[in-house]
Amino acid sequence: MLRISNLHASIAGKEVLQGINLELKSGEIHAIMGPNGAGKSSLSNVLMGNRSYQVLSGEVTLDGIDLLTLPTYQRAAAGLFLAAQDPMEIPGVPLRSLLREALIAQGRGVEAEETSLNARLELEADSIGVPTMMLDRAVNVDASGGEKKRLETLQLSILQPRIALLDELDSGLDVDALRDVARRVERQAHAPEVGTEAIGVVAITHYRRLLDELHPDAVHILVNGKIVKSGGLEIADELERDGYGAYVEEDAGEFIFP
Ligand code: ADP
Ligand code: MG
């Protein structure tokens, strides 16, 4: 279980997380929606340990392990995975090598063994429409926005973390890719393959369409660094209809209209 309690954090002197509380169990998919600049990417960055952010107070634990004291690679080893909003390009490092080294670093040498890893990679790449030649290209270099999102999903399916943070995984994907990627992720959470554990997913998105495929167990609205409402899919419908107006105004308490 990932447990976030009263998390406050700032970047460049601005408090972008103002008391986040969230509990997520494996097998659950939680969607986070919110206007631009609400703090959604900040939350995923703080959870993963981006050192540009300063944690002011609060607690984050994964299966009881205090994540906030750990460097990023140890958070990854503890089972946390981030598909970033803007995936990083890594010149000179082929995706296949990255994944092999990541598995070895996590003590999963058996899975990193060449024949079995290659077989899995081909299978997974095929299921989400990644051409196999991309496995031997430098990670994300010369890839389109949509291709990067597929490559992130491929990493997720190979690394099988405990908790996956997906920051706008749907952005830049065409309808078919969106469906393939969302179904792959949903399967890992709601219907894992025999012998693998269900993962927990935090999916940040602006679009109801992703949620139609992901079937989230909960939807949260994040505004001004706080979760202001939680519920089910009806929340996404409400946002599609009415926008964030109600929440944004509520928060800007000083505004008095004549
Ligand atoms: P979201 O992902 O919800 O659109 P972000 O978490 O990216 O929002 O940003 C939250 C706020 O933090 C925004 O006001 C943004 O301008 C600010 N912010 C993010 N990164 C930086 C930075 N490196 N320096 C200064 N402000 C930042
Ligand atoms: Mg963002």
Q: What is the pLDDT of residue 248?
A: 83
What is the rounded distance in angstroms from the CA atom of residue 197 to the CA atom of residue 47?
22
63 contacts 162 by C-beta, under 8 angstroms: yes
Distance in angstroms (rounded) separating the CA atoms of residues 8 and 30: 20
Question: For residue 242, how many other CB atoms are within 10 A of its CB?
Answer: 10
Q: What is the CATH number of the domain that holds 104?
A: 3.40.50.300
41, 50, 52, 169: which to mutate for ligand 1, most atoms within 8 A of CB? 41
pLDDT at 254: 53
Q: Which ligand is located closest to the Cα atom of residue 167?
A: 2
Question: What average pLDDT does the structure give for the chain?
Answer: 93
* Alpha-carbon dihedral 62, 213, 148, 129, rounded to 10 degrees: 120
Burial class from Cβ neighbours inside 10 Å (0-12, 13-18, 19+) for residue 209 reads middle
What average pLDDT does the segment 105-114 reach?
A: 92
Q: How does residue 82 score in pLDDT terms, banded at 50, 70 and 90? A: very high
Pocket of ligand 1, beta carbon within 6 A = 11-12, 14, 16, 34, 36-42, 52
Distance 45 CA to ligand 2 centre (A): 10
Tell me the two tokens of residue 254. Answer: 């000083």
Residue bearing the bigger pLDDT, 213 or 255: 213
Q: Residue 96 pLDDT more than 70? A: yes
**Protein residue closest via CA to atom 16 of ligand 1:** 37
Is the CB of residue 169 less than 8 Å from the CB of residue 205?
A: yes
**Which residues form the domain of 136?**
2-256
* Domains contained in the chain, number: 1
Give, for ligand 1, the residue of 42, 54, 202 to mutate: max count of ligand atoms closer than 8 Å to Cβ: 42
Task: Report how far residue 185's alpha carbon sits from residue 163's, in angstroms, rounded to the nearest whole number.
Answer: 11
pLDDT at residue 257, rounded to an integer: 55
Local confidence band at 246 (pLDDT 50, 70, 90 cut-offs): confident
Q: Above 80 in pLDDT, residue 29? A: yes
In this structure, the number of other CB atoms found within 10 A of the CB of residue 221 comes to 23
- Tokens at 128, concatenated: 């989400």
Residue 114's pLDDT is what? 92
Q: What is the pLDDT of residue 195?
A: 87
**Whole-model pTM?**
0.93
